[in-house]
Amino acid sequence: MTKIFQGLKPESVWNHFEEICRIPRPSKFEKGMIEYVVNFAVKNKLEHIVDEVGNVIIRKPATPGMENRMGVILQGHLDMVPQKNKDVDHDFEKDSIKPRIEGEWVKATGTTLGSDNGIGVATALAVLEAEDLQHGPVEALFTIDEETGMTGAFGLKPGLLKGDILMNLDSEDEGELFIGCAGGTNANAVFKYEEVDVPSNCSAFHIAVKGLKGGHSGVDISLGRGNSNKILFRFLWLASNKYGLRLADVDGGSLRNAIPRESFANVVIPDKNVEAVKKEIQEFEKTVKKELSAVEPDLSVTMEPAEMPAKLIDELTEDNLICAVYACPNYVIRMSNEMPGLVETSSNLAIVKSGDKEIKVHCLLRSSVDSAKEDLKNMMSCVFDLAGAEIYFDGEYPGWKPNPDSPILNEMKTVYEKMYGKIPKVVAIHAGLECGLIGGVYPNLDMISFGPTIRFPHSPDEMVNIETVKKFWDYLVETLKNIPAKK
């Protein structure tokens, strides 16, 4: 079989990543990946454990003469975000990812690539199988279901890990060391509706907002990209108030941790207002495209004739839904005062979907300040309570408080400066890393996160920079060689 990544360095990392791309692994469907890493451990005669939730731990002894070094845990997650373009036929539970090389980058064909966190997992496996590295005791912790709730990290029990230092391999900017992250929670609103008859003298249409870039709802939230749900409901509010548009169903977004790229609604419009609405949506598209021209060049808002729906959402619920979604907090809420350029608090209006006489709205709220996260939850409650919806919060996970005096941080700054002649940037990230949860179970761990350069994770534009994978590997290898002895 021809190797797609033949010739790329380090060869062992790319070989594992190519194998990982062949294994379907959307969140909650990691069975194939668990089998892959367990078989790897057996093949390489390494001690391994599969815990009760499906996390895999693999241990490798120290190389001769380094047995007294502090133990290092290399940590990554086995799942990936399943996002694809609408015109791509791909079943993430059955089909392989189709990676390709495009210049300095590796991308996928019409889907997410899964370099988040496939490259981190591949790198840990390459360390475990290498016979020419110098290192103290090494463990690899491969967690499940990071992307849809961190249930693997939530389920991790005390006493399983033996190491002293945890290196999370799930960051996305080479040359940056991450020492903190935001906490998060899901906001879920549910509208109950009655089905009502379609009025006479109406025509049916399908409204589509498409062509947006999407992206990671934390890392990319500050880029000002369009949110297809917000755009759709902006138009629905206009057309329902001005022209009597009525809503049959809505389907916007698909994942809570991805900025929604596509949203759709089936509607009916009084025949007397059809031509006016056609002109209105053309003007609306021009307006929104102008507002977002710098970041969303392929945005489209269209309205096409559709089959007449059997029923509509009752008018009161429709009005409440449209107003609530239109008013729902979204994007960056506040920037950090302590770390310039870092988003402190944000909300992503991720999913709006109707069916079975319910409309469900899902948002992901993030903040590095607990009180600000609570304040944002209160805002959400106010909006949806006023609209008559049931709102509840779940999936809450803690942030990771930065420790600027971390010994591994100081060691890795020194190693990077010796290798590359400059000091790496020390930052926190507006995204959820598993360090916060793992640190809650293992409070004595000294933790850090780093990785190669990955752009636009959680979207079909996801790509990983080839050169930085090599730098990431070399930096990790040199760091492992310089881990200090236990005191």
Task: Determine the residue type at 395.
Answer: G
CA dist 32 and 36 (Å) reads: 6
Question: Are 427 and 339 in contact, with CB atoms under 8 Å apart?
Answer: yes
Question: Are 309 and 207 in contact, with CB atoms under 8 Å apart?
Answer: no
| 450 phi-psi bin (left φ>0, alpha ψ -120 to 50, beta other) | beta
Question: Are 436 and 182 in contact, with CB atoms under 8 Å apart?
Answer: no
User: Strand 343-355 and strand 358-367: pairing?
Assistant: antiparallel
CA dist 429 and 416 (Å) reads: 20
Q: Which of 79, 145, 164, 434 is catalytic?
A: 79
pLDDT in tens, 204-229: 999 999 999 999 999 999 999 999 99
The architecture (CATH level 2) of 185-397 comes to 2-Layer Sandwich (3.30)
Q: What is the pLDDT of residue 332?
A: 97
Question: Which residues, in sequence order, are CB contacts of 428 under 8 Å at separation 6+?
Answer: 178, 179, 180, 181, 182, 336, 339, 342, 368, 400, 402
Q: How far is CA 397 from CA 294, 367, 379, 453, in A?
A: 34, 11, 19, 25
CB-CB neighbours of 206 under 10 Å: 15
Q: What angle do CA 123, 96, 36 make, to 5 degrees?
A: 45
CA dihedral 317→321→327→328, nearest 10 degrees, is 130
Question: Which residues, in sequence order, are CB contacts of 311 under 8 Å at separation 6+?
Answer: 195, 196, 197, 198, 248
- The owner of tokens 């089905």 is 195
- The owner of tokens 């049916």 is 204
Q: What is the pLDDT along the chain (487 residues), one digit of tens a residue?
A: 568 999 999 999 999 999 999 999 999 999 999 999 999 999 999 999 999 999 999 999 999 999 999 999 999 999 999 999 888 999 999 999 999 999 999 999 999 999 999 999 999 999 999 999 999 999 999 999 999 889 999 999 999 999 999 999 999 999 999 999 999 999 999 999 999 999 999 999 999 999 999 999 999 999 999 999 999 999 999 999 999 999 999 999 998 999 999 999 999 999 999 999 999 999 999 999 999 999 999 999 999 999 999 999 999 999 999 999 999 999 999 999 878 889 999 999 999 999 999 999 999 999 999 899 999 999 999 999 999 999 999 989 988 988 989 999 999 999 999 999 999 999 999 988 999 999 999 999 999 999 999 999 999 999 999 999 999 999 999 999 999 999 8
Q: What is the pLDDT of residue 420?
A: 97
**462 annotated active-site:** no
Question: Are 268 and 199 in contact, with CB atoms under 8 Å apart?
Answer: yes
Half-sphere exposure of 124 (CA within 13 A, CB side): 33
CA dist 447 and 163 (Å) reads: 11
Q: Which of 18, 30, 116, 146 is catalytic?
A: 146
Q: Give the E-state strand segments of 3-103 in sequence order.
A: 47-50, 56-60, 72-77, 99-102
Q: How many helices (H) and strands (E) does the chain have?
A: 11, 23
**For domain 11-181+400-481, is the CATH number 3.40.630.10?**
yes
Q: Domain ranges for the chain, please list them.
A: 11-181+400-481, 185-397
- Taking 3-state DSSP, the helix, strand and coil percentages for the chain, each rounded to the nearest 5, stand at 30, 30, 40
User: Strand 138-143 and strand 105-108: pairing?
Assistant: unpaired
Q: What is the pLDDT of residue 1?
A: 53
- The owner of tokens 């970041």 is 295
**461 annotated active-site:** no
Task: Determine the residue type at 13.
Answer: V
Question: Are 161 and 446 in contact, with CB atoms under 8 Å apart?
Answer: no
Task: Determine the residue type at 35.
Answer: E
Question: Which residues, in sequence order, are CB contacts of 230 under 8 Å at separation 6+?
Answer: 325, 326, 328, 330, 349
CA dist 105 and 144 (Å) reads: 27
Question: Are 114 and 74 in contact, with CB atoms under 8 Å apart?
Answer: no
CA dist 142 and 386 (Å) reads: 43
DSSP-derived secondary structure letter, 158: T
If you count them, how many residues does the chain have? Answer: 487
The model's pTM: 0.82
CA dist 259 and 20 (Å) reads: 25
What tokens were used for 473? 């590997």
pLDDT in tens, 260-272: 999 999 999 999 9
